[in-house]
């Protein structure tokens, strides 16, 4: 059984500057939204599709996944996924009931009278993050 899922979102927050420093390069700056989160050190290779409530692309490198259980996971892509931060939507196909760090996403682009996918990007590990108690509401 092959399932295809599409997600379309608005941007939200994520991770401490210290935690981001490990993945930062000169061309890659963390989205401001990441400052409202801290990393827990807990990671998952896969998330159950039924547990994913929402996903929020932050930029071309980072996606937040919110679960039905109230947990939030940051997925830092291994390389740039061109257009993801602008389009804020992607699709993926899986034959399992899980979304894993080995899966590929494709950016969904709308414009010019149609909808199409552009580029393929590999997911990274899902890293659990928690909102800082003093973080301002992202609204």
pLDDT means per 10 residues in the chain (139 residues)?
41 32 50 90 97 96 96 94 93 92 93 80 96 71
pLDDT at 30: 73
Q: Which residues contact 111 (CB under 8 A, 6 or more apart)?
A: none
Tell me if 136 is assigned to some domain.
Answer: no
pLDDT at 22: 38
- Rounded to two decimals, what is the model's pTM? 0.75
Tell me if 137 is assigned to some domain.
Answer: no
pLDDT at 70: 96
Residue 22 and residue 121 in contact, taking contact as beta carbons nearer than 8 Å: no
Tell me if 44 is assigned to some domain.
Answer: yes
pLDDT at 117: 83
pLDDT at 84: 94
Tell me if 127 is assigned to some domain.
Answer: yes
Tell me if 138 is assigned to some domain.
Answer: no
Residue 33 and residue 11 in contact, taking contact as beta carbons nearer than 8 Å: yes
Scored b (16 or more CB within 10 A) or e, 1-11 reads: eeeeeebebeb
Tell me if 43 is assigned to some domain.
Answer: yes
Tell me if 28 is assigned to some domain.
Answer: yes
Which strand ranges, in their side-by-side order, compose the sheet holding 89-94? 3-8, 89-94, 104-111, 114-122
pLDDT at 67: 98
pLDDT at 21: 37
pLDDT at 26: 39
Residue range(s) defining the domain that contains residue 119? 3-131
Tell me if 108 is assigned to some domain.
Answer: yes
How many structural domains does the chain have?
1
């Amino acid at each position: 059984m092959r399932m295809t899922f599409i997600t379309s979102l608005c941007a939200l927050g994520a991770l401490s500057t210290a935690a981001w420093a490990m993945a930062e390069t000169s061309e890659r700056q963390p989205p401001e939204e990441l400052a409202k989160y801290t990393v827990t050190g807990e990671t998952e290779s896969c998330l159950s599709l039924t547990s994913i409530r929402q996903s929020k692309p932050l930029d071309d490198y980072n996606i937040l996944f919110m679960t039905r259980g109230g947990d939030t996971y940051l997925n830092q892509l291994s390389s740039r996924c061109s257009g993801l931060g602008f389009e804020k939507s992607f699709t993926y196909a899986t034959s399992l009931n899980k979304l894993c760090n080995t899966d590929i996403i494709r950016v969904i682009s709308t414009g010019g009278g149609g909808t199409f996918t552009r580029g393929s990007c590999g997911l990274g590990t899902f890293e659990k993050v928690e909102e800082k108690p003093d973080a301002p509401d992202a609204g």
